[in-house]
Structure 1
């Protein structure tokens, strides 16, 4: 029972319908389609992506501002190569994914973590955090945020923080990189639009992918760019990668235009809502007041903090849970400053059936009790 985050319900993907789209794409493929395609991606797919983000994220962007990439990570890498020079400053959320520190650090930039609270990135702290690293806030070239479902806390950035961040970025001449990695899955009636849908005066790059909504091996992502960044971004993509596989793009465009993508998202949203509900019910049933959960409003994971435990490490719980057939993942490594004082875990649920979630949480609770008893003895 693996509570790994970032893995969708791959066994529920409509393989037969996807095979049909692939068949259609190869059936229409001519010599041009089988050759080197445009660096910006297939026109058909960029048009479908423009329609998708307009409908689901209230982001009105023309297809000529969209570049197809080999997943979201490539979009991040190209943007760093486009904007950041050695000695520049990149601001990231704290906590955040460890891979980000590696991607941004490879550019020779100074990576500055800024704390996150219940409203998202603490914009008012950016200047002080940058100065604490011996840099001037005017050296910030990029601010990375996950406003729709902060990774890993799951916090949704408030409207006030969004406006403050856009004003700060415009004043400093910085670019905001919005990573909307769980863009389709929200479980509240009210849903804030993408940050890039705000009036941002060309300061926001929106990055998305189909890894969580469809399947990771597809390796198709995209960036929605301000007009002045399109050609510099394309120039680097041409040099480093040339193109994202063309026929797969045409198949995805067919999958979306035929309505199969919308049906899949609707079906997965119902499934994930059920699994999320069961995870929360099971956690509160077994841990009661001894658990604190954040991030349940959106995305495919929650952040679980076990309170009231003394002398118990995350590693001990991981080891004892593994002995019972349950895999859980410590969250403390995502924090640069002020790691959580209590054992904290990132709990993904998307790939687990309800029965396995129920069983897994019960076994995790047994492991926590055993860890607590061992800690009390010491």
Structure 2
């Protein structure tokens, strides 16, 4: 315990004053268990008698409580004497990276998070809840625990997990790879960050989809990339709008574009591969939920038709399993193998081994694929429930983008501007419904109201109830916003 004796008077009173100061400042809040008298005496280099006398004095003053067989605990003071929290000292950014990060990242941003007090929320970042999967995961963690070595994990990832991932993606996604090509990372967010470190210098041109996954965009901007937004239509990225000058990196979600749901057509896949070859650039393929193909056969990954080794394939278990697991992987082009391993080593020495070992078993035993099949079936039901309910209850007021995979749809509220969309979202939250705008998915947001409507963590009953509430919010907001004009028109 970090206590400083002031040197004035008896030792036990010095210790009493030091402990009082720690309690008053909040360093020892109510309920804190103090070290045993022998341990504290050893740490402070005083006699145990001194510590016992100090504890007795504090108990007499009501600041400590002794519990038989347990120890001494701090009592919360009757009248709080803690100092008010010290405001964070403002300093100028100490690096160009910090300056960009401050401009781009708001730690208080609630985009995509569950809001308190909501009856329903179309939160798009949450995966499907599966009690059987939770049980299987806990079982595999318990089995793996006795066999995981306590030293640092391999930076590239456990061989058992890399082999399991390799077999899975070659069979289900058509990838061309070996276990040596797999790098285990802490989720897709780290994969994108490592790609930015390895491939992008400040000022380099990077092509992104418009709209796009905002997490990738923010990371690239923090690294100083010059982003070039290329529009997306029903066939995915408009390859005819790729820049004439060479780009260092092209970031894509070709199997299920985020957020529109478009699938990149074969002809455009060939175009973008040719563009990367001509530029001597690279393609980052973010396959964040491509395994949840619901109404058709899974689309093979872009990497599966890459003949030049220029595609970095990024996969994640955040959507298919649990976001809290923080596990994902990169299928590395062979020419970048050593660079990515060095970047991963510098980032964290390696991803936690216990979770890797448990996941390897989950995949190897077939439990992971069984979960994917069951989850896909349930997601189909929820998506159909969402789309049917919106068509039935909202009619022409809401337009849905076609989507055949994943756990969300993109909806446009007809005739509403972006500013009116903000008002609608605020109104819905007042009525207990969480709505989420798509504005942050754009470099240049359009002046219309678009909503990301997630359904992965909702039951079909919840989906229908939420849509009913959504339709009611549209009605009441329209009356609030245009009621006076409607009443005036009616009176005339």
Taking structure 1 as the reference length, the TM-score comes to: 0.93
Partner of 1:344 in structure 2?
A: 450
Paired residue secondary structure (1:155):
coil
8 Å CA contact 1:45, 1:250 repeated in 2: yes
1:199/1:366 CA distance change after superposition, 3 Å:
same
**How far off its partner does 1:321 sit?**
1.4
Deviates further, 61-70 or 189-198: 189-198
Q: Aligned match of 1:260 in 335, 347, 367?
A: 367
Structure 1: gaps spanning 5 or more residues:
129-136
1:311/1:75 CA distance change after superposition, 3 Å:
closer
Structure 2: gaps spanning 5 or more residues:
1-119, 486-492
Paired residue secondary structure (2:393):
helix
8 Å CA contact 2:296, 2:404 repeated in 1: no
- Is 1:209 paired with 2:316? yes
**How far off its partner does 1:243 sit?**
0.5
**How far off its partner does 1:370 sit?**
1.7
For residues 219-271 of structure 1, the C-alpha deviation after alignment (integer angstroms, 9 at most, x for no partner) is 00000011001111001111121100012101100111111111111111111
Deviates further, 7-16 or 213-222: 7-16
Paired residue secondary structure (1:178):
strand
Count of aligned positions: 365
1:208/1:269 CA distance change after superposition, 3 Å:
same
Partner of 2:90 in structure 1?
A: none
Deviates further, 57-66 or 8-17: 8-17
Partner of 2:124 in structure 1?
A: 5
**How far off its partner does 1:28 sit?**
2.5
Partner of 2:349 in structure 1?
A: 242
8 Å CA contact 1:295, 1:301 repeated in 2: no
Bigger-Rg structure (1/2): 2
Alpha-carbon distance in 2 for matches of 1:88, 1:363 = 46
Deviates further, 91-100 or 170-179: 91-100
8 Å CA contact 2:417, 2:449 repeated in 1: no
8 Å CA contact 1:115, 1:121 repeated in 2: yes
For residues 192-223 of structure 1, the C-alpha deviation after alignment (integer angstroms, 9 at most, x for no partner) is 20011113411100001100111001000000
8 Å CA contact 1:310, 1:372 repeated in 2: no
**How far off its partner does 1:100 sit?**
2.2
RMSD: 1.6
1:37/1:306 CA distance change after superposition, 3 Å:
same
Partner of 2:469 in structure 1?
A: 363
1:127/1:358 CA distance change after superposition, 3 Å:
same
Choose between structure 1 and 2 for higher RCO, CA contacts under 8 A separated by at least 6 residues: 1
Alpha-carbon distance in 1 for matches of 2:425, 2:473 = 8
Paired residue secondary structure (1:60):
coil
**How far off its partner does 1:309 sit?**
4.6
Partner of 2:137 in structure 1?
A: 18
1:295/1:245 CA distance change after superposition, 3 Å:
farther
**How far off its partner does 1:118 sit?**
1.3
Alpha-carbon distance in 1 for matches of 2:461, 2:129 = 17
For residues 59-82 of structure 1, the C-alpha deviation after alignment (integer angstroms, 9 at most, x for no partner) is 121010010001111111111111
- Is 1:374 paired with 2:480? yes
Alpha-carbon distance in 1 for matches of 2:364, 2:130 = 23
Alpha-carbon distance in 1 for matches of 2:417, 2:242 = 34
Map of 1:165-184 to 2, 5 A cutoff? 165-184=272-291
For residues 112-148 of structure 1, the C-alpha deviation after alignment (integer angstroms, 9 at most, x for no partner) is 11111111111121215xxxxxxxx23x111100001
